[in-house]
Copies of this chain bind each other. A is one copy, B any other.
Amino acid sequence: MILQTKVGKKFIIVFNTINFLRNWFSGAGPLLLNRFWLVMTRYKNQKHFLVAVDCIVFGFDGQNLKILLIKRGFEPQKGKWSLMGGFVQPEESADEAASRILKGLTGLEGVYLEQLHVFSKPERDPIERTFSISYFALIDILRYQTQLNDEYHAEWFLLSEMPDLIFDHAEMVSMARKKLRYRAAMHPLLFELLPERFTIPLLQNLFEDVFETTFDKGNFSRKITSTGMLLKQKEKDKAGSKKGAFYFKLDKRHYRKNFHKVHSLVPNPGELI
């Protein structure tokens, strides 16, 4: 039972039951029917929200694992430090948003970037409810360029000397550190933090910093070379000692086949949780 009428320039069609609507629309083909059906039933009256991404950027300077933060040059929270973030735009995925934002901060592309967690407490942003999809990024600190937008200052911090952060950003960092260990136990992720050529003692520094422990240098060296993932170079780095340490490169061909051996490098793997 359908009633059609006209009020001014508008047509009004009244359906008594939903099935009448479906029958009526089915003449228009299934696609159009589906579209209308969904809009009118399922998606109707649903609230829309802001969606942001925030990036936890890790770097390694040869000695220590560090994190990149920006200082807000504007209100609110002017002078406080925060992660680099921004809103997801209509035409991009969250991954694309994270890449775009990271490029804006560091000038780098092709960075290792992995989704961490969505933070979604309704009150986490005091201004307006915002979902934040957090990402952690690993960058070779030497490739990083300081050509920054002058809206914000960016600075590297030792993890032990990190300042207070806005909103729930400290929680994000804490989760990212945990996930970094967790992932690094299973995947040769940490090479993303190193330049193309690196020495084994340097690699050991990095592992020790990430896992907050120390390794026997002999065993570390033997284990990492026995994975077959590393290609020994002819040159040595003589900055660190008289004898010098050979440079290595990651062998990208054998990378995928042997990375599972990274696992054995990790102390107390079960304690990662």
Contacts and interface: CB of A to CB of B under 8 A. Distances in A.
A262 B47 CA distance: 43
A38 B72 CA distance: 12
Interface in A257-273: 259-264, 268-273
A182 interface: yes
Nearest to A35: B127
B41 A50 contact: no
Q: In the assembly, how many copies of this chain are there?
A: 2
A232 interface: no
B186 A273 contact: yes
B131 A51 contact: yes
A90 interface: yes
Interface stretch (A5-13, A102-110, A113-121): A113-121
Interface stretch (A58-66, A92-100, A202-210, A240-248): A92-100
Nearest to A269: B263
Q: Which among A42, A75, A127 has the highest number of chain B CB atoms within 10 Å? A: A75
Contacts of A131: 51, 94, 131
Contact of A272 (B88, B128, B186): B186
